[in-house]
Structures are given as structure tokens and as C-alpha cells.
Homo-oligomer: A and B are copies of this chain.
Amino acid sequence: MVTEAGGDAREATRARIEAAALELFTRRDFETVTADEVADAAGISRRTFFRHFATKADAVWGDFHAHVVRLDELLAGTDPDQPVLASICAAYVEVNDYAAADLPLLRHRMRLILTEPALQAHSQVRYADVDRVVAEHVARRTGADRHSLVPRLVATATRAAATTAFETWLTGEGSLAEDLHAAFDQLARGFPGLR
């Protein structure tokens, strides 16, 4: 294989795989596309595909770990006077603040993740990291043990809010930030009218 100047050759093939995967998965079903086909489309071997992505599903997620790290940093840097829920909402909005040019890509990606059963299932594993980070933030702010009810519950409930916001964003026309704020607002007010 030709190594194109510098050590970012690996990053380049990774990006090529990612693009090929997203294109194929969007054009057809996720399940009917085999790893071989993605590898072919990306111009690499099946074995190499699984060296870059542990799972077929992982190719859809891009560098999600970087997002989690960023979310963690954002949460750690929030104003202690800001209400906890508001700080989580702000961090979610910030970490999902994509440039306009990247929005179509994000739409494709999220549509896949929220629609395809296999990817829906896989998302649970990825979101576990998010939950851990948020629960630790809540624990820091409240002094509670991070394994106790409130930190865990806030983490899973806010993630539920974020996921639902993504769903409404996909089907609607508003901005993602608006939808996130709307969902968090409902959550923080304890669903007014339903109590």
C-alpha cells in the first residue's frame, strides 16, 4: 500500500472507510451490506476494515470517543452557580454544535442510528460512556455517590431527552439546539400538565 506522506495515512483510510460505509448503509439497508462490500468500496481488504473498526456498526459512529471526552471537559468547566440540569443541556448543545456544512452528514448518521435496529442496539453500548460521564458530573455537583439513584437517573433521563430531541430534529425543520432545549425544558419542569 502506498503510504501518503506523513503519519496520517491511517486516518485517511479510516475516513475513506467511514465515507464508504455511510454511503452504502444509507443507500441500502445496514444489514444487507456486508463488511466485504464496504471494504471493496473503500479499496481495502475486509481484514483491514476490522482493524479500523471493531464492528460494522462502529463505522457509522465515527470518532465518538472524542465526543465523550469533549462532553466530559465541557461538563467539568461549567459554572458552579449554573443549575445542574442547565449545565448538562448546555454541554449537550455545545458538543452537538456542528457547522452547517456538516449537518447533512449528521442527519444521515443519526437517521441510521435511530432507524436501523442493529444500530439502535449498538447505540446502547456507546451511550453507556455518555451516561458515566454525566453521572460523574452530577455526583461532583451534588456530593452524592455516582452510583446512587439521582446521578444515574439524571444521566439516563437527560440522555433520553437528547435522543428524543434528535428524533424530533430529524423529522422536523427546527435547529438541533432548539429541540434539545425544548426537551430539557420539559424534563426540568417535571412534565407540567402530566402530574
A194 x B121 contact (CB < 8 A): no
Residues of B within 8 A of A182 (CB): 149
Closest chain-B Cβ to A149's Cβ sits at a distance in Å of 5
Contact among B152, B167, B187, B191 with A152 in the assembled complex (CB-CB below 8 Å): B167
Q: A193 contacts which chain B residues (CB < 8 A)?
A: 142
Q: Establish whether residues B153 and A194, one from each chain, have CB atoms under 8 Å apart when the complex forms.
A: no
Residue A117 interfacial (CB < 8 Å):
yes
Q: Measured between C-beta atoms, what is the minimum distance from A139 to chain B in Å?
A: 12
Interface size (A, Cβ < 8 Å)? 44
Number of this chain's copies in the assembly equals 2
How far is A85 from B187 in the complex, measured between Cα atoms in Å? 12
For A49-79 the 0/1 string (1 means CB < 8 A from B) is 0000000000000000000000000000000
How many angstroms from the CA of A191 to the CA of B189 in the assembled complex? 8
Return the CB mask of A8-34 against B: 1 if under 8 Å, else 0: 000000000000000000000000000
Can you name the residue of chain B whose Cβ is closest to the Cβ of A84?
B194
Indicate if A161 sits at the interface (CB-CB under 8 A): yes
A143 CB to nearest chain B CB (Å): 11
A48 within 8 A of B: no
Cβ contacts under 8 Å, A161 to chain B: 153, 156-157
Is A195 part of the contact surface with B, judged by Cβ < 8 Å?
A: yes
| Contact sample, A vs B, 23 pairs, CB 8 Å cutoff | A84-B195, A85-B191, A85-B195, A120-B128, A123-B124, A142-B193, A148-B168, A149-B182, A150-B194, A152-B168, A153-B161, A153-B164, A153-B183, A153-B191, A156-B160, A156-B161, A156-B164, A157-B160, A157-B187, A188-B190, A188-B194, A189-B190, A190-B191
Which residues of A are at the interface with B, using a C-beta cutoff of 8 A? 83-86, 117, 120-125, 128, 138, 141-142, 147-150, 152-154, 156-157, 159-161, 163-164, 167-168, 171, 179, 182-183, 186-191, 193-195
